[in-house]
């Protein structure tokens, strides 16, 4: 039997539930003096299809005394230790955000800001176009494309992935500004600009370099093949500028419009540049159809292929409509057409960015999208939120995930569903708002250890935090533990790397298809856009005292 808890902890007020996999009488033991402060009987909740577990809930919501505790089951089984307290997610939120600094490319990470995780400047050579690379053009034109964040365990930089990560962070800042007042100890700290914006600027300045003179945006900047497991500064493979994709253009237009609004009070010149670049990208969208991206023969860096660019176009139109004070009827025309089409409206991933449209339009104090569009988006939001509540209510682990949802990077789906429920709670009142918010928080509890493997999927947070991310620099730096604050991709119902194939038996239930092994890129990599929605969640719940 296992007893699973959020290994970081629970806020003082509200629901506090642990999951057990057998019936039990339980006691809650205070760590400091081993005294039992609470007891009860676990309530049966039935079979959980995602994990293959029968589950019981240990409800200790009434325990509102701050402290450090663990749960003792009937046969002396113990849960990991957890805290009850105010602002239990503060440092988590900061480390999840600091992780982006550690992904900076093109600059040295210094002791002052990086502690023991320093490295020299990486990937500073100019980049060349794919065509020149493939044709071995003598003296090819070369461009300064330095900057931005390494995408993940690899050193690539991808426009759609980068734009989505920045969007999670900027919307988090816009909705929960009080959660972003602290210093992250990054080189810009103390310059009068919130550090979340300082950090995002590092990526946005790189993204600006990815725009072609005609307004198009290059899909990615990577080597032809992934580097070995070496430090980034030891990677000297040439970096290649790949062709434009319409998804990259749409995401770029949207995130630059969003940035123009957010940075205006702090950096008006940058805000102007972001807006004019967004307009240029939008004009490109008006004159170009869908342009997909596929890796050239023999190349194995990330593809981020996407068959539909309508969600990117919808988000771009929504953001420009909200952020550009100059009225361009094309914004509302495109937005209306796509909002009333049958595309999804509620996702926050790199393939489907449609949910950002509702974060943009439904939270616009000036209601520029207009009543008709808002009503449609509102209906889409609450239909999805209620669907998620329904799934959660049938799940032993209180998770709005069906077995089939545990894909590569399932922790992103977990976090994105929490984001959707947070949006629903912010737009509801009273009991309804509490229900959505509590459902959203259950996803954080899952991420931090209340899951069928009792793993905290955030490095450095929780007794059983994962320790071996598939990440080149944490592997090659010779330091035993990874820096705190990285989110693992998590369980993958169809793992597809040799290590996972070796260690995960066929037929393992989706929630258990995970290995904490550095080799397992399909279950244990890290990426910027798996951390960013976790920042959104932590920022929301940290703002609750």
Residues lying near Zn ion in the complex (CB under 5 A): 105, 122-123, 232
Sequence-separated (6 or more) residues with CB below 8 Å from residue 87? 542, 545
Q: Rank residues 123 and 345 by Cβ distance to Zn ion and give the closer one.
A: 123
Active-site residue, 516 included:
yes
Residue number of the CB atom closest to ligand 9MR: 302
Is the CB of residue 317 less than 8 Å from the CB of residue 247?
no
Residue 154 touches ligand 9MR, criterion: CB under 6 A: yes
Active-site residue, 119 included:
no
Burial 40-68, CB ≥16 within 10 A → b, else e: eebeebeebbbbebebbbbbbeebeeebe
Residue 242 touches ligand 9MR, criterion: CB under 6 A: no
Sequence-separated (6 or more) residues with CB below 8 Å from residue 418? 440, 441, 443, 444, 533, 536, 537
Is the CB of residue 156 less than 8 Å from the CB of residue 150?
yes
Separation CA 202–CA 426 (nearest Å)? 30
324, 516, 519, 542: the active-site residue: 516
- Residue 406 binds which entry of Zn ion, ligand 9MR, none, CB below 5-8 Å type-dependent: none
Active-site residue, 501 included:
no
Q: Rank residues 105 and 398 by Cβ distance to Zn ion and give the closer one.
A: 105
Is the CB of residue 149 less than 8 Å from the CB of residue 203?
yes
Stretch that binds ligand 9MR, among 76-84, 234-242, 296-304, 458-466 (CB under 6 A): 296-304
Q: Rank residues 203 and 525 by Cβ distance to ligand 9MR and give the closer one.
A: 525
Rule CB under 6 A: choose which of 152, 419, 458, 504 binds ligand 9MR.
152
3-state secondary structure of 537: helix
Rule CB under 6 A: choose which of 102, 149, 408, 541 binds ligand 9MR.
408
Write out the DSSP string of 446-502: HHTT-STT--BSBTTSSTTB----B-HHHHHT--SSPPS-PBB----SS--SHHHHH
470, 497, 519, 542: the active-site residue: 470
Count of residues that interact with ligand 9MR, criterion CB under 6 A: 12
Q: Rank residues 50 and 160 by Cβ distance to ligand 9MR and give the closer one.
A: 160
Interface mask (CB under 6 A) for ligand 9MR, residues 507-536, using x and -?
Answer: --------------x---x-x---------
Phi/psi at 518 (nearest 5 deg)? -60, -30
Separation CA 418–CA 400 (nearest Å)? 9
- Residue 89 binds which entry of ligand 9MR, Zn ion, none, CB below 5-8 Å type-dependent: none
Q: Rank residues 152 and 275 by Cβ distance to ligand 9MR and give the closer one.
A: 152
Residue 409 touches ligand 9MR, criterion: CB under 6 A: yes
Q: Rank residues 220 and 493 by Cβ distance to Zn ion and give the closer one.
A: 220
- Residue 527 binds which entry of Zn ion, ligand 9MR, none, CB below 5-8 Å type-dependent: ligand 9MR
Q: Rank residues 119 and 493 by Cβ distance to ligand 9MR and give the closer one.
A: 493
Active-site residue, 519 included:
no
Residue 11 touches ligand 9MR, criterion: CB under 6 A: no
Could you tell me the two tokens for 56? 């019981």
Q: How far is the CB of 493 from ligand 9MR (least distance, A)?
A: 12
Sheet containing 128-129, strands listed edge to edge, beginning at the edge strand earlier in sequence: 128-129, 240-241, 220-222, 157-158
154, 309, 336, 347: the active-site residue: 154
Residue 482 touches ligand 9MR, criterion: CB under 6 A: no
Phi/psi at 458 (nearest 5 deg)? -125, 125
Q: How far is the CB of 497 from ligand 9MR (least distance, A)?
A: 10
Write out the DSSP string of 208-267: HHTB-TTS-BBSEEE-SS---S--GGG--PPPEEPPB-HHHHHHHHHHHHHHHHHHTTT-
Is the CB of residue 122 less than 8 Å from the CB of residue 106?
yes
Report, as residue numbers or ranges, the catalytic residues.
154, 470, 516, 525
Residues in the site for ligand 9MR, rule: CB under 6 A?
Answer: 151-152, 154, 156, 302-304, 408-409, 521, 525, 527
């Amino acid at each position: 039997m296992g007893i699973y808890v959020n290994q970081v902890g629970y806020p003082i007020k509200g629901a506090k539930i642990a999951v057990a996999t057998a019936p039990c009488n339980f006691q809650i033991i205070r760590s400091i003096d081993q005294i039992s402060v609470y007891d009860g009987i676990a309530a049966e909740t039935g079979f959980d299809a995602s994990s293959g577990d029968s589950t019981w809930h240990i409800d200790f919501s009434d325990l509102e005394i701050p402290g450090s505790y663990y749960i003792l089951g009937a046969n002396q089984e113990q849960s990991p230790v957890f805290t009850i307290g105010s602002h239990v997610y503060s440092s988590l939120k900061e480390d999840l955000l600091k992780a982006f600094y550690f992904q900076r490319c093109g600059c040295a990470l210094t002791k002052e800001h990086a502690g023991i995780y320093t490295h020299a400047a990486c990937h500073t050579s100019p980049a060349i176009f794919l065509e020149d690379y493939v044709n071995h053009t003598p003296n090819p034109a070369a461009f300064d494309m330095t900057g931005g964040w390494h995408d993940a365990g690899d050193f690539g930089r991808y426009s759609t992935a980068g734009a989505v990560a920045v969007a999670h962070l900027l919307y988090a800042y816009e909705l929960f500004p009080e959660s972003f007042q602290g210093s992250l100890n990054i080189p810009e700290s103390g310059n009068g600009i919130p550090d979340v914006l300082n950090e995002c600027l590092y990526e946005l300045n790189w993204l600006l370099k990815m725009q072609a003179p005609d307004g198009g945006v290059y899909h990615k900047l990577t080597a032809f093949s992934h580097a070995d497991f070496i430090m980034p500064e030891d990677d000297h493979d040439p970096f290649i500028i790949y062709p434009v994709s319409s998804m990259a253009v749409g995401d770029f237009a949207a995130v630059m419009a969003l940035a123009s609004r957010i940075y205006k009070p702090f950096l008006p010149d940058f805000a102007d540049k972001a807006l004019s670049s967004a307009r240029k990208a939008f004009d490109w969208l008006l004159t170009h159809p869908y342009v997909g991206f596929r890796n050239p023969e023999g190349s194995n860096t990330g593809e981020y292929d996407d068959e539909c660019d309508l969600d990117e176009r919808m988000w771009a139109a929504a953001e420009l409509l909200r952020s550009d004070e100059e009225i361009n009827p094309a914004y509302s025309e495109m937005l209306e057409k796509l909002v009333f089409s049958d595309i999804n409206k509620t996702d926050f991933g790199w393939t489907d960015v449609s949910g950002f449209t509702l974060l943009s339009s439904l939270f616009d104090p000036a209601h520029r999208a207009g009543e008709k569009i808002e009503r449609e988006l509102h209906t889409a939001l609450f239909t999805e939120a209620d669907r998620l509540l329904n799934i959660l209510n049938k799940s032993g682990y209180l998770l709005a995930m069906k077995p089939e949802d545990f894909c590569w990077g399932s922790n992103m789906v977990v976090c994105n569903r929490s984001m959707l429920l947070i949006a629903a709670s912010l737009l509801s009142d009273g009991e309804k708002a509490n229900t959505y918010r509590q459902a959203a928080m259950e996803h954080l509890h899952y991420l931090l250890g209340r899951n069928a493997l009792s793993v905290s999927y955030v490095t450095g947070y929780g007794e059983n935090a994962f320790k071996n991310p598939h990440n080149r620099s944490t592997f090659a730096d010779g330091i035993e533990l990874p820096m705190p604050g990285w989110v693992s991709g998590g369980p993958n119902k169809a793992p597809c790397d040799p290590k996972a194939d070796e260690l995960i038996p066929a037929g393992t239930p989706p929630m258990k298809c995970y290995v904490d092994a550095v080799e397992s890129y399909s279950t244990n990599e890290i990426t910027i856009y798996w951390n960013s929605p976790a920042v959104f969640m932590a920022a929301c719940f940290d703002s609750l005292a």
